[in-house]
Structure 1
Amino acid sequence: MTESNNEKWINKKISRYEMLKLTGIGAAGIAIGASGLGGVIKAMSYNVFEPVADSIIARNKVDFYGKHQSGIVTPVQKNIYFASLNVLVTSKKELQELFKQWTPLVVRLMNGELMVDLTNNIRIPTGDTGEAEGLDGSNLSITIGIGPSLFEKLGIQHLKPNELQDLPHFPKDQLQQELTGGDLCIQACADDPQVAFHAIRNLIRLASGKVEIKWSQAGFNSFPAEEGTPRNLFAFKDGTVNPSITDGKDLNKVVWVDKGWLKGGSYLVARKIQMHLETWDRTSLKDQEATFGRYRDSGAPFGKTKEFDDFDVEAKDSKGDYIMPNTSHVHLARKSGARILRRSYSYVSGVISNTGAHDAGLIFISFQKDPAQFTTVQKSLGRMDKMNEYITHRGSAVFACFPGVQKGSYLGEALFNAL
């Protein structure tokens, strides 16, 4: 890594003993409890770099340290790679060590560095897969959370927050088991898709034998030339009614957990939603707009002219009819009275076998201080939501995302301190 005159770094060399402890190598230099490529990777030493000052000049860098994890109220990037993981270890200590090991590596990735310094030894696999070499930070943010199933797997049910429960079955759900749930999640968002994928690929590669991917999904957003709200694959603006990411008081009401070991964290809901584009494309613009309750071009709610104009969900015209159809997505969501922070991305994954239809849709991500906020909205949409004619929910999961990390700490420390 090349330093500018304004950068100061401390090269914290890991001692041989500490390195052996982290990588699981015995005195004879053989990786213990590892096999294949994973064992080789764990056997490689690396340097950990940490800034000595908060003001570090780096290209397109998101700060890792802070009260909250990145990737929640971070300005939305152009790409996401989301992975739900199964945890293979059953020891609390092993999982704690994994989070301790991941933490400085996440810092490096978000700083735009390779996760592990390159080695001159060409006889072993490289510690970093290398596809992000030469790319900058790309505003990479990494967010890590744990699912309800992990607490039972580790025998720590007494620490599972009451709010962290599997989501109920909703009307029109057609969930696929292989796209549902998970013990851990990693959300990597970046302005370069390869940077996002590289981060998750390498974190999981390092944790070989401890975690495995259950399901994953890449996604993208496209922003207008001038600042504005991105459109989903139905061509409507997505995320208009979000709380402001700069309004601390509002975020405290909507997003941040304020109690227990999760204080300063948030709950992530992930839903993989297939959008039936062929059916939508045969629908008139009038019916499309009535489905959303917004005008497509401006994003304004029915009866208004601008995207962010407020509206009365009960307003009626001179004939006594609702100005906004009472089966529209916006009408039913607003009527629920609940609020969430949406952070969704579109996806395209080829075609559906035997039909030729696009396998495309929305990787819906929302953050809230209680998953009940999402459940309230989804129940309000229920069977009445006209959108149900054009979408099918295929995947679903909920995770508790750790609070932020202070220097000298590690991801999930508050949870392990509560043991």
Structure 2
Amino acid sequence: MSSGRRGFLGGIGLAGLAGAVAASQRSARAARTAPLAPVAGGGIVPFFGAHQAGIATPQQRAIYWAVFDMVATTRPELAKLMADWTAAAAKLCAGAGLDDATPDPAQPGRDSDDTMGMRPERLTLTFGFGPTLFSKDGADRFGLAARRPAAFVDLPQFPGDQLVPGRTGGDLSVQACADDPQVCFHAVRQLARLADGVAKLRWVQAGFLADYAAGQTPRNLMGFKDGTINVATGEARAMDRFVWADASQGWMAGGSYQVARPIRIALEHWDRMKLGFQEQTFGRHKASGAPIGCRREFDRLDLDANDADGNPVIAENAHVRLAAPETNGGAQILRRSYSYDNGVSYVAERWPPWRQGMEYDAGLLFICYQADPRAGFIRLFEKMSRFDMMNQFTTHVGGGLFACPGGARPDRYVGEALLG
């Protein structure tokens, strides 16, 4: 590592952080004991707290998801990267750039400056550790294998998976969310610069969320409301039960397990389906979001209701039935997904009508959080991957499982309980 780069990293280290984020310290302390409330446009979401921001935070309008692989091979280098990322993330989320107060015109800037003059737009940065950080190809690369929690299992291969290696797995995940897509991209771009020579980008995915009025459930690219049944982030007991890892998981206490899955949707195929069939597939009315046979979005699912012919009103393989807590022993996950559009690409469909050619490379960046993936995503998706009617139109093309540790104090870095 060059002396210039060491100076750069030291210049934004934890020791120099207090002045840059002093204005947000009081609100950060409050965030450790109370759920985050919605912040007005352009506002600051405190980076520090008992939990990492970007999980229970009210969902922002844009995401830039990035996964890195470690290039460096020692644990101290990994720990230093997390310390540098923590310091930079706190500055970025507070609305500060990484440049010196008096930059040297003879040297490259320490920040790309493409968001100069912009507000932080509720930026959050959430960090996760991948399974390969603990063991890869049988090697305990960083001396962490013995500290891998029992809940942190490898995701199984699900029926229908068509995972692209270049969009699957990885050592470190970074979830950047904000109300402006450029703010998201800018944040990841600065973290990537800091990681030069230590970690390299493996795969990324940008996403967006429709701008609906507060309290309304956004719609996905299939036109249906997405996330009606979700863990209530303002209910501490529900979050402790379903989302936050408990003290028995050691360094993961206060953290959460993050599943990310880019899901390509055959939109051309879907758009040709009759409305009634679309509604049967979801088990909900498209306009209102209400369960089939009901009028309001949040009406209780009546999974025992039959029509005049004795058939279930909500089909046995409807998406909402298979995902419902009532059919999964009460299991729930915190969904935090975004739509994506990567343009078009050549696709050979695996379902009738078997079209081949250029189609939209678009779909859903499915993201969820849970206290234990064995009781959360894995339990839910083992059944859904086999029977869900929606599988005619969706293909999981990548993703991974990451352990997101609890939040950090201003004098600590994210993951220090594991790496320190």
Deviation string, structure 1 residues 156-207 (Cα, Å, up to 9, x no partner): 2000111112210111111111111010000000000000011111011111
The question of 1:54 aligning with 2:26 is answered yes
Q: Secondary structure of the equivalent of 1:395?
A: coil
1:344 Cα shift?
A: 0.1
1: CA distance between counterparts of 2:99 and 2:195?
14
Q: The residue matched to 2:207 in structure 1 has which SS? A: strand
Equivalence for 1:346: 339
Note if 1:187 corresponds to 2:175. Answer: yes
Residue 243 of structure 2 aligns with which residue? 255
Cα distance in structure 2, aligned partners of 1:117 and 1:297:
52
Q: 1:384 aligns with which of 383, 387, 412?
A: 387
Structure 2's unaligned 5+ residue stretches are 29-38, 136-140, 348-356
CA distance in 1, matches of 2:12, 2:134: 32
Q: Match for 1:68: what amino acid?
A: H
Q: Which residue of 2 aligns with 1:15?
A: none
Which of 209, 219, 225 is the matching residue for 1:221?
A: 209
Give me the whole-angstrom Cα distance separating, in 2, the residues matched to 1:45 and 1:185. Answer: 21
Please, which runs of 5 or more residues in structure 1 have no aligned partner?
1-23, 32-37
Is 2:12–2:87's contact at 8 Å kept on the other side of the alignment?
Answer: no
2:351 is aligned to: none
Identify the residue that residue 185 of structure 2 maps to in structure 1: 197
Q: Deviations over 1:221-253 (max 9, x none)?
A: 013245301100001000110111100000111
Q: In the alignment, which residue of structure 2 is the partner of 1:170? A: 158
Separation in 1, partners of 2:75, 2:304: 52
Whole-angstrom distance in 1 between the partners of 2:121 and 2:168: 29
Is this contact kept in 2: 1:118–1:127, CA < 8 A? no
Rate the CA distance shift 1:368–1:291 in 2: closer, same or farther, 3 A.
Answer: same
| 1:6 corresponding residue in structure 2 | none
Q: Does 1:316 align with 2:318?
A: no
**CA RMSD after TM alignment:** 2.0
Question: Cα deviation per residue 1:19-49 (whole Å; 9 max; x = unaligned)?
Answer: xxxxx66xxxx44xxxxxx689558678532
Alpha-carbon contact 1:345-1:362 (below 8 Å) kept: yes
CA contact (8 A) 1:106 1:115 kept: no
- The CA deviation at 1:360 is 0.3
Distance 2:385 2:117 in 1: 48
**Letter paired with 1:106:** A
Match of 1:144 in 2: 127
**Identical aligned residues as a percent:** 43
Q: Is the 8 A contact 2:206 2:340 kept in 1?
A: yes
2:159–2:386 contact (8 Å) kept in structure 1: yes
- Aligned AA (2:263): I
Distance 2:395 2:296 in 1: 30
Query: Are the counterparts in 2 of residues 140 and 190 from structure 1 also a CA contact under 8 Å?
Result: yes
Letter of the 2:100 partner, please give it: D
8 Å CA contact retained: 2:27, 2:46: no
More deviation in 323-332 or 38-47?
A: 38-47
* Distance in 1, Cα, partners of 2:230 & 2:316: 21
Q: 1:336 aligns with which of 328, 332, 339?
A: 328
Q: In structure 2, what is the Cα distance between the partners aligned to 1:383 and 1:190?
A: 35
Is 1:79–1:189's contact at 8 Å kept on the other side of the alignment? yes
Question: Please, which moves more after superposition, 370-379 or 305-314?
Answer: 305-314
Q: How far is 1:347 from its partner?
A: 0.3
SS at match of 1:313: coil
CA shift at 1:98, angstroms?
1.4
Give the alignment partner of residue 394 of structure 1, picking from 373, 394, 397: 397
CA distance in 2, matches of 1:314, 1:396: 35
* 8 Å CA contact 1:272, 1:362 repeated in 2: yes
Among residues 307, 313, 316, which one is paired with 2:297 in the alignment?
Answer: 307
Tell me the number of residue pairs that the alignment of Structure 1 and Structure 2 aligns.
Answer: 384
Q: 1:226 to 1:154 in 2, by over 3 A?
A: closer
SS of the aligned residue for 2:387 comes to coil
Distance 1:273 1:161 in 2: 27
Query: Are the counterparts in 2 of residues 340 and 374 from structure 1 also a CA contact under 8 Å?
Result: yes
The alpha carbon displacement at 1:55 in A equals: 4.3
TM-score, normalising length: structure 1? 0.87
Q: What do the CA deviations read for 1:242-283 (whole angstroms, capped 9, x no partner)?
A: 111100000111100002110000000000100100000110
Q: Secondary structure at the match of 1:200?
A: helix
Change (3 A) 1:358 1:40: farther
Match of 1:265 among 255, 267, 275: 255
**Aligned-pair CA distance for 1:416:** 2.4
CA distance in 2, matches of 1:94, 1:366: 29
One-letter code of the match for 1:224? Y
- Tell me the distance in 2 between the aligned counterparts of 1:104 and 1:269: 25
Task: Give the partner amino acid of 1:307.
Answer: E
- TM-score scaled by length of structure 2: 0.87
